[in-house]
Chains A and B, each alone.
Chain A
Amino acid sequence: MTPTNRRNLMFRAMALGAVTTLPACKMTEADNSSLTDQFKHAMLAWDDKVQEALFDPHTLAPTFRPDQITNPPRFNAFYDISQAPVVDPATYTLALGGQIQNKTPWSVSALNALPQHSQITRLICVEGWRVIGQWSGVRLSDFLRHVGADLTCKYVSFKCADGYYSSIDMPSALHPQTILALNFLNAPLTPPFGAPVRLRIPVKLGFKNPKSLVHLAVTNVYPGGYWEDQGYDWYSGS
């Protein structure tokens, strides 16, 4: 994808995002920008502390049988499936930033050369529905150690080819079931479902599983997220 193409796509995505979320933004800003908004923010911050305390790095998300897999998978994004970004896996690179020693960008084949892990897990959407899928790829903990990331940092942040972005806490990033997924059902990811690389993190809600990653950073500066900045609970752990 040429830079202009990507920028077009990002603007289109951002415009779409702005249009679809405008009523919500207007409502929160116009009606409850004062006390109720502050109250909700304070309570969500408290909920996030509780969720951090509840998080046990040794508790695994449930796994399922192959016959329980939802196929075809369910598409979900802040835009229609026809608008999903198409990234050329041959020229694709995952850029690295923040507190990482070796920031050399990663190609799909380089990621494929790292130890692979497969999981049949459940993805729960913040809306309530759930799907079961088989993803495989590189453990994020392996990857972060491999590139010399500062594991004492608080956050791992992600940027996507469609302008989407999100971030997770370091303990959840190091969970053994948190992977940089390359395959679904043992075949490379397809464009609407996060090709060529997506985050698959069963200890978080679906919107914390960003697709078509183009940038990964480790940081102590709160990175927020596309939905998180609009009022979704940041931690959103399962």
Chain B
Amino acid sequence: MLAKTEKPRVIHPWPVRLTHWLNAVAIIMMIGSGWQIYDASPLFGFTFPGLITIGGWLGGAIAWHLAFMWLLVINGLLYFGYSGISGHFAKFFPLSPASVWADLRAAFRMDLKHETGVYNAVQKLLYLGVMFAGVVIVISGLGIWKPVQLWFFTDLCGGYFIARYVHFFAMAAIAIFVAIHLALVLLVPKVLPPMITGGRISS
């Protein structure tokens, strides 16, 4: 049943879909090469196995990292620009701790209704959280890349030494998000096609 005479609305407008998939490529390349870079001087007592890293060696990984950072940043700016102008950002609000708690409990009871085209409170929190991690990872990354010329980014992260940890934990946050995101797509596979075709809100 369409509301009045309105045309069916797309679930995901094309700028969201385009930036989503470009971002997926950027994240895979940045995390894969980033793990290889991490392995050259590990912050913790482990390294990432060569099978899941990108670049083959430190020099190759840095080349990939410095290439795809442009895709990550420009694509991210396009997404934020589009979302701000189009009102897409409004979909992430309102958001309250109570609504997150309620939806989280409902989700674990397998009782959370999937409303097409509407984000539940947990989704809103996750998406806003990963956007924040994205901003943090770019700022800390710039601070690590150019601690002299872009010293304000380095200082913002508490100095070069701490910036590496900030960069790592932002990566970890994004990796955890990707894991949850993919797990939810597996649980509710019908959400995948609209992210490719756009889909239509028909009910």
Contact = CB atoms under 8 A, between A and B. Distances in A.
A202 B60 contact: no
Nearest to B148: A238
B86 interface: no
A1 B13 CA distance: 71
A92 B5 CA distance: 89
Nearest to A202: B148
Contacts of A15: none
A129 B160 contact: no
Given A28-B60, A40-B60, A238-B146, A130 B161 contact: yes
Interface string A183-216: 0000000000000000000110000000000000
Interface in B60-98: 60, 62-64, 66-67, 70
A61 interface: yes
A54 B149 CA distance: 7
Given A56-B149, A128-B37, A231 B59 contact: yes
Given A40-B67, A59-B148, A27 B160 contact: no
Contacts, number: 85
Interface stretch (A98-106, A109-117, A118-126): A118-126
B62 A238 contact: no
Interface in A105-152: 122, 124-130
B135 to A, nearest CB: 20
A101 B57 CA distance: 42
Given A202-B148, A203-B148, A238-B149, A44 B60 contact: no
A124 B56 contact: no
Interface residues of A, number: 36
Contacts of A129: 41
Contacts of B40: 126-128
Interface residues of B, number: 26
A238 B60 contact: no
Contacts of B38: 128
B147 A40 contact: no
Nearest to A62: B151
B185 interface: no
A204 to B, nearest CB: 9
Contact of B59 (A31, A61, A62, A232): A232
A111 B134 CA distance: 49
A31 B57 CA distance: 13
Residue from B56, B70, B144 having most chain A Cβ neighbours under 10 A: B56
Contacts of B70: 43
A40 B29 CA distance: 13
B18 interface: no
Nearest to A23: B57
A54 B63 CA distance: 19
Given A27-B56, A27-B60, A130-B160, A124 B66 contact: no
A47 interface: yes
Nearest to B151: A62
Contact of B164 (A24, A128, A227): A128
B58 interface: yes
A230 interface: yes
Contact of A28 (B56, B66, B147): B56
A16 to B, nearest CB: 16
Contacts of B106: none
B148 A128 contact: no
Nearest to A42: B67
A126 B62 contact: yes
A237 B63 contact: no
A171 to B, nearest CB: 12
**Interchain residue pairs A-B with the least CB separation, the first 7:** A43-B67, A128-B41, A231-B59, A24-B57, A127-B40, A40-B63, A127-B41
